[in-house]
Structures are given as structure tokens and as C-alpha cells.
């Protein structure tokens, strides 16, 4: 099997297979982010709050719920964990900043950029979470890779138990609040606890009005949700990111992302994801639909569905890695590689573009497009990313925001334009 160096390909110092998978992840994550970008916030949790629940809209939700919701983010996060190990190893052999300085400077600037991103462009920013989680897991990078994977799995299992217990408490609170003769205290307890799954009266209408307004109105709408999401990072997104980063670090050390596994091993991973986890997720999806998207039942089933995320994510990665190994679809793979090398720029650029599409200071389409109609926006952004990334990298060493980030970390202007032959 190819070593990491052999898998690096023609771009010195990079592992092409990692960039290709990252390119797929940065494209795939938009399939779910687009919902929070162009529809009321609670539509991301439950399609009854926006986007449609019948016909093409239902099938758009259902397919994404099985194959992409949480899965592409999981893959993106695992790759971030892998990159931490890779960048640290390069820093150890280089003549510049050491691995600790490099890592924590990267995270500091990622946190700053993530805060700007969350409040000015996309309320569902992941960079702040990555900065906080990455600070915690970095000291563990030298542990045995199988131990890293085991720790990551344990963190995700503990998070599942937490959410499962929380769903049970919500069910008990609702039963108490709706029981005959329920007192005001029980009703208030349910009203407060259910805000995570039930949109407060008028909340979606306020969001639509604000996002269709000017820049300051959109900033107000984002701030309300972004702050709430950031407050819950230690209880939800943070532990999930820690677990997935640990798994990504371990898998990288074992050669998964650098084509170091046998074809049979990748096929086994695909079987686990597509033949076991995906049918289970599809079963949960059907049960959600059968419940009429009842919010509490939907929440409970989505908690169970979270178990499938890492397996389906790694099945997607395994399928693409086998395509890379076989040398198939070379032109598309090359464009995915370029998109992955510029993932930081492409991720942030996506938010800038969609804010102009949906907000009132742009085209003002917020709340106007159904879930299925949003796929046209997704296709347009994908086309742009795939078309511009490779020509850009033919002329420049890095994506524009990668270059800014690198220059900030090193605290000096980095080489940008490639030497002309």
C-alpha cells in the first residue's frame, strides 16, 4: 500500500487523498448548511418549520437526513483532527515555529475569524467550535492511534447517553405539563425546556422579517441564534467535535486518509456505513415521517440517528479513497483536490455568497425557496468552487484566506504568487 509520502502526489508536502476527501466534505456540508442559511432556524431541526414536508421537499429532507445530515460535518471534523497531526509533524521537522506555537496560533486566529463569520455571515459557524475543541485534543495526538479512536468513540457514546437522557426528561416534562390539572409550574418548566425543539411563537416570522431587511437587521437575527449555539458548545457541538477529532487523529495515524489501508478494509468500512448504518438511519427517517414530524418524537429519533454519523461519514470517505486509488474520474478528483486545498476559503466564501443570495441587502430570497429549490443554489456554489479552485492554485500557492491565516500565524507576510516559468 502507498505510504503517506507516496500518496502525496505532485504537490510537494501535501497528501492528495486527504485534500480530495476534504474537498468532498466542504461541498457536502453545504447540503445541510443551506437550510439554516435560507430558512428559519428551526427548519434545520424539523421541516415543519420551513422548507416543505411533501413531494420533492420531503425527499430532499429524507435523503439528506440519511446520507449527509451530521455526516459531512463529522467527516470535515475528522479531517481537522488528521490535519492537526500532519501540521504538527511538519512543524517538528521545520525551522520555523514549533508544533505547539503553530497549533495554538492557528486556533487563536481561527477563533477570531469564526466569531466574525458567525455574526456577520452564517450563524451556524463551525470554526469557533473547532478552535475550542482543537485546543483540548492537541496534547493527546501522540497517544496510540487505536486508543485515540477508542477515546473518540467513548466521548461520542457519552454524548449519546446525555442526549438520550435529556430526551427522556423532555418527554416527562411534556407529560406533566399536558396532564389534566397540570399546574403553572409544570407548564412553565415544559415551555422553557422545549425551546430546543419547539420554535417560540412568532420566532420564525421575526427571523424572516429581519433577514429580509438590511445588514443590521440580519446581524441582529444572526446574533440571537449564534450566541445561543455558542453557549451550548460545551454540551453539544464541543464534545461531538472532540470525539470526531480524536477519531480523525487515530485514523490518520493508521493511514486511513492516506490510502494506507487495503482495498478490502475500505470495502468493509463501506459495508458498515451503507449496509448497516444507512438502513438504520433510513428506518429512523421513516418513523419521523410516520409521526407527522411531531417535534418531541422527531428529536428522540434524531438522537438515535446520531449513532450512524461516523460510520456513514467514513463510508463516504472510503468510497472516494477507492476512486482515487483506482485513478477514476481524474478531472473531477483533481478539482476536488483543489477545493480541499482551499477548504478554508471555500467554506467562508460559501457563507458570503449565500448571505448575498438570501438576505435583504442582496437578493432577499430568505424564506422564499423551498428545501428542494435550495438545491439550485447548492449546485451553483458547487460549480463555482469546482471551477475556480484549480485555476487559482495554478497561479497562487494558497487560497486567499489560507494565505491570510498562514501570514497571521507566522506574523509575517507569506509567499503568495507562484514563480512564473
Q: From residue 352, give the alpha-carbon distance in Å to each of 29, 117, 335.
A: 15, 9, 21
> So what's the pLDDT on residue 191?
85
Compute the average pLDDT of residues 148-164.
97
CA distance 248 to 251: 5
> So what's the pLDDT on residue 187?
86
> So what's the pLDDT on residue 194?
86
Classify residue 416: in a domain, yes or no: no
Classify residue 419: in a domain, yes or no: no
Q: What does the block give as the cell for 19?
A: 485534500
Classify residue 72: in a domain, yes or no: yes
> So what's the pLDDT on residue 4?
39
Burial of 86 (0-12, 13-18, 19+ CB in 10 A): buried
pTM of the full structure: 0.93
> So what's the pLDDT on residue 10?
38
Residue-wise pLDDT for 116-125, tens only, equals 999 999 999 9
Residue-wise pLDDT for 162-206, tens only, equals 999 999 999 999 989 888 888 888 888 888 888 888 888 899 999
pLDDT(149) > 60: yes
Q: Residue 173 is part of which domain span? A: 6-410
DSSP sequence for 39-93:
S-GGGTT-GGGTT-SSHHHHHHHHHHHHHTTTHHHHHHHHHHHHHHHHHHHHHHH
Other C-beta atoms within 10 Å of 262: how many? Answer: 10
| Pick from 34-38, 134-138, 167-171: least confident | 167-171
Of residues 419 and 274, more confidence is placed in 274
> So what's the pLDDT on residue 196?
85
> So what's the pLDDT on residue 8?
39
Classify residue 354: in a domain, yes or no: yes
Q: From residue 282, give the alpha-carbon distance in Å to each of 69, 275, 349.
A: 12, 11, 32
Nearest to 106 by CA among 76, 122, 83, 79: 83
Classify residue 35: in a domain, yes or no: yes
Compute the average pLDDT of residues 13-37.
94
Residue-wise pLDDT for 63-113, tens only, equals 999 999 999 999 999 999 999 999 998 888 766 788 999 999 999 999 999
Residue with cell 396532564: 179
Residue percentage of the chain with pLDDT more than 70: 96
Compute the average pLDDT of residues 285-314.
95
Mean pLDDT (the chain) is 93
Q: From residue 84, give the alpha-carbon distance in Å to each of 81, 90, 135, 362.
A: 5, 10, 10, 37
| Pick from 9-13, 52-56, 210-214, 353-357: least confident | 9-13
Residue-wise pLDDT for 311-341, tens only, equals 999 999 999 999 999 999 999 999 999 999 9
Residue-wise pLDDT for 360-382, tens only, equals 999 999 999 999 999 999 999 99
pLDDT(157) > 70: yes
Domain tally for the chain? 1
Amino acid at each position: 500500500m502507498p505510504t503517506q509520502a507516496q500518496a502525496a502526489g505532485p504537490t510537494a508536502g501535501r497528501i492528495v487523498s486527504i485534500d480530495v476527501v476534504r474537498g468532498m466534505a466542504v461541498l457536502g456540508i453545504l447540503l445541510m448548511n443551506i437550510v439554516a442559511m435560507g430558512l428559519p432556524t428551526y427548519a434545520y431541526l424539523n421541516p415543519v418549520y420551513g422548507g416543505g414536508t411533501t413531494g420533492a421537499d420531503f425527499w430532499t429532507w429524507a435523503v439528506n437526513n440519511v446520507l449527509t445530515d451530521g455526516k459531512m460535518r463529522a467527516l470535515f471534523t475528522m479531517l481537522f483532527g488528521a490535519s492537526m497531526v500532519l501540521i504538527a509533524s511538519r512543524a517538528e521537522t521545520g525551522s520555523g515555529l514549533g508544533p505547539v506555537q503553530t497549533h495554538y496560533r492557528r486556533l487563536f486566529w481561527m477563533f477570531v475569524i469564526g466569531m466574525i463569520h458567525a455574526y456577520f455571515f452564517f450563524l451556524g459557524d463551525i470554526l469557533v467550535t473547532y478552535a475550542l475543541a482543537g485546543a483540548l485534543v492537541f496534547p493527546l495526538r501522540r497517544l496510540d492511534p487505536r486508543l485515540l479512536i477508542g477515546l473518540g468513540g467513548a466521548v461520542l457514546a457519552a454524548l449519546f447517553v446525555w442526549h438520550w437522557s435529556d430526551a427522556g426528561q423532555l418527554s416527562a416534562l411534556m407529560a406533566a405539563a399536558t396532564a389534566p390539572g397540570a399546574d403553572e409550574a409544570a407548564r412553565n418548566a415544559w415551555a422553557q425546556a422545549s425551546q430546543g425543539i419547539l420554535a417560540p411563537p412568532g420566532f420564525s416570522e421575526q427571523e424572516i422579517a429581519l433577514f429580509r431587511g438590511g445588514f443590521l437587521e440580519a446581524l441582529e437575527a444572526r446574533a440571537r441564534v449564534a450566541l445561543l449555539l455558542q453557549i451550548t458548545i460545551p454540551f453539544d457541538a464541543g464534545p461531538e467535535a472532540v470525539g470526531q477529532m480524536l477519531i480523525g487523529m487515530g485514523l490518520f495515524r493508521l493511514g486511513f486518509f492516506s490510502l494506507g489501508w487495503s482495498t478490502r478494509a475500505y470495502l468493509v468500512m463501506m459495508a458498515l456505513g451503507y449496509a448497516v448504518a444507512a438502513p438504520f438511519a433510513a428506518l429512523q427517517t421513516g418513523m419521523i415521517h410516520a409521526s407527522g414530524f411531531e417535534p418531541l418524537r422527531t428529536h428522540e429519533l434524531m438522537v438515535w440517528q446520531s449513532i450512524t454519523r461516523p460510520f456513514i461519514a467514513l463510508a463516504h470517505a472510503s468510497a472516494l479513497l477507492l476512486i482515487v486509488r483506482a485513478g477514476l474520474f481524474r478531472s473531477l478528483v483533481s478539482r476536488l483536490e483543489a477545493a480541499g486545498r482551499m477548504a478554508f476559503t471555500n467554506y467562508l466564501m460559501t457563507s458570503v455568497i449565500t448571505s448575498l443570495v438570501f438576505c435583504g441587502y442582496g437578493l432577499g430570497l430568505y424564506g422564499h425557496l423551498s428545501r428542494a429549490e435550495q438545491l439550485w443554489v447548492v449546485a451553483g456554489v458547487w460549480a463555482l468552487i469546482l471551477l475556480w479552485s484549480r485555476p487559482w492554485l495554478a497561479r497562487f500557492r494558497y487560497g486567499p484566506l489560507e494565505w491570510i491565516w498562514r501570514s497571521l500565524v507566522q506574523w509575517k507576510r507569506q509567499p503568495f504568487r507562484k514563480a512564473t516559468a
